[in-house]
């Protein structure tokens, strides 16, 4: 009798697993769709769609150290621009245990810049998943890092002296 009770409990627990897996896969698909739409809207210069995919408190971190754009400031900067084209090559998405937020990283291809990386955070809202932070970087191959960081340091020193 004890074995039957144990197996019933075990069977019950296994029936819960697929629902959790489907929930995660559904959220991951929705998040991927938001990110794909974000890149598509950026390429088209469709700023209404682009910024609608961002949470009200969103921040965009650009490639320059001074580029920390709260959503409203980034909207003003983007207005009138033709757009930016990045094609996702590889993407990783992770959900928090409560399923209300997620973080991601993606390798992007750009005609203008070559390989780039996007990373950030999304939050689940009443309207669906929204980007809360997006960070665009240019990954530096380790073999080039010393040369490039030395050039950046020299540029920063020169720029600071010019002020």
pLDDT in tens, 23-68: 468 999 999 999 999 999 999 999 999 999 999 999 999 999 999 9
Q: What distance in Å separates the CA atoms of residue 11 and residue 9, rounded to the nearest whole number? A: 5
Q: Which residue has the tokens 């245990």?
A: 97
- Evaluate whether 117 touches 134 at the Cβ level (below 8 Å): no
**Mean per-residue pLDDT for 77-99?**
95
pLDDT band at 17 (very low <50, low <70, confident <90, very high): very low
Q: What is the pLDDT of residue 18?
A: 42
Q: Return the number of other C-beta atoms located less than 10 Å from residue 121's C-beta.
A: 18
| pLDDT more than 90, % of the chain | 79
Coil, strand or helix at 43: helix
Q: What is the pLDDT of residue 142?
A: 96
Closest CA to 60 of 140, 114, 160, 132: 132
Average pLDDT, the chain: 88
Query: What range defines the domain where residue 118 resides?
Result: 2-162
pLDDT in tens, 94-123: 999 999 999 999 999 999 999 999 999 999
The H or E element spanning position 151 is helix 142-162
Long-range contacts of 96-102 (CB under 8 A, 24+ apart): 99/23, 99/24, 99/27, 99/124, 100/124, 101/132, 102/27, 102/28, 102/31, 102/129
* Number of domains composing the chain: 1
| Domain CATH for 103 | 3.10.450.50
The reported pTM is 0.81
């Amino acid at each position: 009798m004890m074995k039957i009770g144990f197996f019933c409990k075990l069977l019950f627990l296994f029936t819960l697993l697929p629902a959790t897996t489907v929930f995660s896969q559904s959220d991951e698909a929705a998040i991927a769709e938001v990110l794909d739409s974000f890149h598509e809207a950026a390429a088209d210069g469709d700023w209404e769609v682009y910024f609608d995919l961002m949470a009200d408190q969103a921040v965009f971190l650009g490639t320059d150290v001074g580029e920390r754009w709260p959503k409203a400031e980034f909207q003003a900067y983007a207005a009138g621009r033709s757009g930016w084209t990045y094609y996702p090559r590889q993407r990783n998405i992770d959900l928090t245990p409560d399923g209300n937020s997620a973080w991601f990283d993606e390798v992007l291809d750009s005609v203008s810049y070559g390989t780039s990386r996007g990373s950030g955070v999304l939050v689940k809202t009443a309207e669906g998943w929204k980007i809360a932070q997006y960070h665009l970087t240019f990954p530096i191959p380790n073999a080039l890092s010393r040369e490039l960081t030395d050039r950046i340091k020299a540029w920063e020193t020169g720029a600071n002296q010019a002020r």
